[in-house]
Each structure stands twice: as structure tokens, then as C-alpha cells.
Amino acid sequence: MTEKEAPAPSGSTVTKPDRGHLIGVGAMWVAKWSLVLVAISLGALLFGWIIEKLWVIVLPVLLAVVVCTVLWPPTRAMTRRRIPPAAAAATSLVVFIAVVAGIIAGIVPSVVSQAPELANKATQGINQVQDWLKGPPINLQDDQIDQGIHTIIVKVQESGTVIASGVFTGVSTASSLLITLGLVLVLSFFFIKDGPRFIPWLHSVSGGRAGRHLEVVLGRMWDTLGGFIRTQALVSLIDAVFIGAGLLILGVPLAPVLAILTFIGGFIPIVGAFVAGALAVLVALVANGLTTAVIVLIIILVVQQIEGNVLQPVLQSKSMKLHAVVVLLAVTAGGSVFGIVGAFLAVPAAAVAAVVVRYIGEQIDEHSAESNIADAVAANEDLDDAEREGVTVDQAAVAPKAD
């Protein structure tokens, strides 16, 4: 008996797999998946490069899709009442433009007129914090504080340049911001007017099997995106109302402007809330003192905790949940590449990508379950055949021999 063979309980021999063969199989598995990951990475880089080159087209399309998630419910309600799709889409779009124009006309003059004062208050707050850091118990040296503040100022200036360039990336090549906004409105009209015919057309073009998967995935993407935008608007409004009311009650100046910034910052999760809250605390610190600033900080923390632990789970679908790390990384990546617009679109993009990943996981689980069931059925059939053969052999063994 060789060393590769060992006696089995039944008396038969079992051959052990060769060590070199196992190493080769493992190395081939690692090489195969390494090539797959490299191909996926190259595809992602190519996709990002195409989006960057076509950003002047991609940006209006993405913004139009976001607008459509808001306009589709009233448009659908009108079409169900036998209103023609074109008339329903035009009515929703006109009302939307009127509402947005009214809000801008009402808040922009106030924000513009009080923005210098807000900046001065924030600067004074930073200087006051600097004075505290010089005293006990921290006792930081002037050069350390000056170096830290200089670093922050440089980073803020660099971020401002990146943000400004990101906001207007592609807009200048489209001649003006007005043309881009006009393109968004035109695309929104056609999307909400002809959108219901898109998925059936795509299904017919891609075929039965692929069309079925595309129909399910695109439907889930639409539901997720629409739910996110509408829910985020409602949550941001609730945050702005409660934080703004607290600032007004405490007599903090610039309360309306800070409430507006809180609402806008709500569409950029984590980062937007942090920036808006920090501004409110700094203004309260300079204008009303330490006690008021601490109370404002408590109000902001309580409202954000209620938002994160009560409003978000209740108002948003479970399929929309994303881990805070994923949200933070998505906002950071989107903001660094495409500025404010990228930070705004980062979380919806991550949520849509999560829908695709979840659907792929469901398909893998479904096929795995079907494979296990098929294996179990085949094993049962083999067992039944073996039992029938065993009965036949036993009967032949006990049968009387003929003379």
C-alpha cells in the first residue's frame, strides 16, 4: 500500500489529493478572480472617464431625473383622471417652477444681505475659540494655533476653488447656466411625459430574459430614488423648522438664514448637517454667549438624533438604508470630484448602486437554492435506485437454488 492510499472503513482505498495539485488549483482560483477584479476596475475607470468627458450632458440628465422624482406623483394623479400626459406634465412643471421661483425670490435677498454678517459672526466665533485654546487647561502656543488656523484657511480656500469649479463644470461649455437649467426643464418635461413607455420599450429591445431583469432593477431604482428625494426634503424641512424655532426663541441673530442653510445642508447627509450646525453654534457663541451656544448645540444634537433614530427609519424604506460610512465616503468622493453637485448626487447614486448589488445578491441566492434543491432531488433518486438494487440482490441471495 502506497502512502497516498489509506484503508477505508469498508475495506476500499481512498486516494489523497496531491499537494501540488491543490496548490495549483488554489493559484488558478486566485489568478482568475484577480483578472476579474482588474477587469471590473478598468471598466469602472473607463465609465468614470466617459462621465467626466460628457459631464455637460450627464449633469442635466441626472438633475432632470431628480426633478422627475418630485413631479411624477402629481403627474400620475392627473393622468389617472384622463388628463393628457403632455398637459399633465406641463402643468406639474409650471407649478414646480412657480414654487421654486417664489421660494428663491423670498429667501435669496435675505441670505445675500445677511451673508457678510454671518461670515463676520463665524470669524469672531473662531477667534473666540482660539482665545480659549490659549488659556488653561489646554494652553496651546500661539505658533501652534496660528499654524492650525493657517492650515484650515488654506484648506477652505482650496475647497472653495474646487467647489466653485465643480458647480460650474460643464456649465461654461454649455454657454451659460441658463442654458443648462433650460435643458433640465425640457428633459424633465419629456421624462415625465414619456417615461412610462421607456421600460416597455427597453424590455422589447433587450429581449425577454434581460428585459425582465432590467425592468425589475430600474423599477426598484426609481422607487428608491424617488423615496430618498421626497423623504430627504421632508426630513430637512423638519430639521430646519425645529432648529430655526429654537434659534428664534433663544434670540440668536440670523436665525432665518441659519434655518435655510440647515434645510439646504440636509440634502448633503452628515457633512451638510455638521457645517450648518457649526455655523449656528458659532453665531450663538459670539452674539449670545457660551450658555446660549451650549443650548443651541444641545438642540441641534437632539434634533439630529431624532432625525437619525426616528424620522429616517419611519419615513424611509428599509431598502434605502445605507451605512454611515458608505454615506460619508460617497459624499466625500462626489464632492472632491464634482463639487457641490457631486456631493448632492453622491448619496442617491450610492443608493441606486446598492439596489443593483442587492438584486444581484438575490439572484445568486435564488440560483443557489435551486441548485441545492436539484442536488437533493438527484441524491434522493440515486438513493432510491440503490435501495431497489439492494433489495433485488438480497432476494436473489436468499432464493432457494434449483436442483
Instruction: Report, as an integer, the average pLDDT of 255-268.
Output: 79
Contact 290, 278 (CB under 8 A): no
Contact 364, 357 (CB under 8 A): no
pLDDT tens for residues 13-60? 556 777 888 888 889 999 999 999 999 999 989 988 898 888 888 888
Whole-model pTM: value is 0.65
Cell 442654458 belongs to: 179
> What band does 366 get if pLDDT is binned at 50, 70 and 90?
confident
Q: What is the pLDDT of residue 41?
A: 92
Give the pLDDT band of residue 169 (cuts 50, 70, 90).
very low
pLDDT at 144 over 80: no
pLDDT in tens, 52-88: 888 888 888 888 888 888 888 899 999 998 889 889 9
The position carrying cell 441566492 is 365
Tens digits of per-residue pLDDT, 195-248?
888 888 887 887 777 878 888 888 888 888 887 887 778 888 888 888 888 888
- What DSSP string describes 165-197? HHHTTTTGGGS-HHHHHHHHHHHHHHHHHHGGG
Q: Which amino acid is at 288?
A: N
Residues in a beta bridge with 7: 13
Q: What is the structure's pLDDT at 374?
A: 66
